[in-house]
Structure 1
Amino acid sequence: MEPTMEKLILEIEEIIPQQHFLSDEKLRSALASFETYESIGDIFVIRYLDKWFSIDGHHRLLHLYRQGVKRVEVCHDPADDDHFLYRRLAKESLNIGLKTIADLEDRILTNEDFLVDWVGKCQLMLKEHSTPEDNMRFFMSHHEALFDYENKNNHVFVGYSDRPWTYLSVDSEKGLCELLEQVPKVYSNFALIEDWMVKFIDPTDIRVRELICERLYLPASVEVQGDMSAVEELTLQDAHAIQNAHAYGEYTDIDYVKKQIDYGYHGGIRVDGELVAWALTHDDGAIGFLYVMPDHRGKHFGEQITAFIVKRMREDGLPVYVHIEKENLPSIRLAEKMGFVIDRTVRWFSLVSDKT
C-alpha cells in the first residue's frame, strides 16, 4: 500500500490552531515575505476528534485570514494524526477555548515571550515525554535479534520473548512501507503498532489475537508519592500464582512471566505470607500485570506497588510507561490520577492466512 499524503482545500474558519501563541516578529516576517497566495508554502494539518488542527504555518494562516482569504490548500499526512505532541497540543487548544485562527489575534507575544511561553513549553513536553521508541530500546536490550534492519530514521527489530515480535520505529508512511518490504514474511507478530500503521501492515484485515491498549507515560517532573514499606520484590516462585490469576492467559505463559521476574521490574504485597497484589514490567519495559486479589481491594495496594516500581525504574534512569486496555476505564483513571498522561493507542496482533 502506498503512503496517503493528501492535499485538501479547507475553509480557513474550520481550522483550529494547535499553536497557542504567535510571535510579533515572526508575524511581521510572514507579512513581508508574501507576494502572492501561491507563495505561502505548505501548511500541514492533523485530524483529531473529527476536527482539523493546523500544526504549522500559524503566522501565515493569520495573515491570510486578515487578507480576507476564505479557503486555503493544506497538506494532511495521516501519520501525523497520532503524534503525541500534536494531539496533546490540539487537546489543550480545545481546553483553552481556541476555535479558529482568528482567536490568535489576542495571543500575539513579543518574540522573547514567545520563545519562553511557547517554544519552551514544547521543548519541555518533548523532554519529559516517553515514546514507543523507549519500548523498543528496552526490548532490544533484553532480547537477541532475529532480524535487525535500519535505514536513516527507520528501524525494524525482531526478537523472541514468548514468540518472535516485530517492533517498528518509523518517521513516515513512506518509511514504514520501506521497512515492511525488508521484513521476512515468517515474522508475523507485530508489537506496539499505532492505528495509522495497521492498514499498511494488514491491508487485507487478517489479524488475530489482537490486543488494543492505551499507552500512558509518566512525565519526568511528576513525583509519585506513597507508602511503599509493605512492597517487596517478587520471586520466581510467584510466577504460577501470577499466571493463574492473570487475565491475559491467551497472550502470555508461565515462561514469559518468569522471564519478566528475572530481568524486569516488579513488586508485590503479601498478607500472612500469601501474595495478594503484584505488578511487573512486560518484555518492552511497560508496567503491567497489575492485580489485587478481590478481598484486598480498596487498600491502595495498586498505587503502592506502582510507586515502588516507578522508583526502581527511575533509579536506573529509565522512562516509565504503562499499557492499559482501552475498555479498562477504571485503570486508566487510576493511572491518570497518579500523573500518567495518555500518549497514543497501540496494539499487538498476529497475521495469518485466514481467521479460522
Structure 2
Amino acid sequence: MKHKISPIDAILREHSVMILDGALATELERHGCNLDDPLWSARVLLENPEVIYQVHSDYFRAGADCAITASYQATVEGFALRGIQEKEALELIRKTVLLAREARDEFWKEEEYQTIRPKPLVAASVGPYGAYLADGSEYVGNYGVSDETLTAFHRSRISALIEAGADILAFETIPSLQEAKVLHSLLKDYPEVYAWLSFSLKNEKAISDGTLLEECTRLFGDSEQIAAIGINCAPVSGITEAIQVLRSNTHKPIIVYPNSGETYNPENKTWHGQESCNRLDLKSEEWHHAGARLIGGCCRTAPHHIADISRKWRPSVVVSS
C-alpha cells in the first residue's frame, strides 16, 4: 500500500475540500419511492433502479465529488427475508456500484468539468449490522452478537462491492467499536482497497455505544487502509466539537456528513424536530477551520445543500440544485 495514495488523498492534493453527496433516501422519497420497508432504499433496487441513477446524477450536478451507493441496507440477509436467493442478492448489491459508476461516467463526459473539478469517486456504502435489523440500533450499537456473526454478515457484501469496481468503501454510521474492529479486520483481506470509517455519535465525545471518540480515532489512526475517519448522521450542532476531538488524535483526513438535525424515531420510521442544516455552506467553513477535509450531508439533506457547499468551495464550478 505504501507506493499508492488513496483516492481521497489524490483529490485532497488538488482541492482543499472533498465534497460528498447528501441523503439518498430523502431524494428517493421526493421522486415518489416508498421506503417504508425493512430494506429501506435497497427496496428501490428491486422496483425503480433508474431513480437511484437519477439521484446520483443530481448530486454530481450539484457539485458532489463522491456518490455513496445505495447499499447501506442492501444485504444478503435482508434480501433473503424477501425470498431472494444469495446469488441474486449479491447481483443487486453489485448493481448499487454499477448504477453510481454509470451516473458518474455519463456526467464526466461533459468536458467543461474536467479541468475545474476532480473526477467523482464511487464510495460503496457498508452500513452497520443494525441497519439490517431495521430497528434503529445503528444508533445504539449494542447488538449482543459475536465478532464471528458480524464478520459473516459483512464479508460477502464487501466482496461484492469491491468486485463491482467501487473506488473506495464507506464504513458508515458505525455505532460500536466492536463492529469497527470487525470491518477493519475484513478490510485487511483486500490489501489494495481503501475505506473511510465514520461513526454515529452518542454525544460530541463518544460514539453510539459509549466508547470515547478519542479512543476510536487513535485505534485506527495508523491503518494504511483507512483513508479518512470521522462522523456521519449526527446533528449539525455537535459537529465542530467532534471534529476537534478527531483532529487532536489523528493526522488522517477528517470526514463529516451530518443529518438535518431532526431526530429519527425507529419505531414508526419518522423524523421529528427542527431542521438545522440550511446553511451548510457557512458551517462547512467552520468545520474546515476545525480540521475537516471531506464534507457533505446525511439523512434529510438534499442536492441544494450540496450545491451550497460547492458554491462556497468551488465558485468557478457551475452547479445545479
Same fold per superposition (TM over 0.5): no
Higher helix share: 2
Higher strand share: 1
Larger relative contact order (Cα-Cα within 8 Å, sequence gap ≥ 6):
2
TM category, shorter: under 0.3
TM norm structure 1 = 0.25
Larger radius of gyration: 1
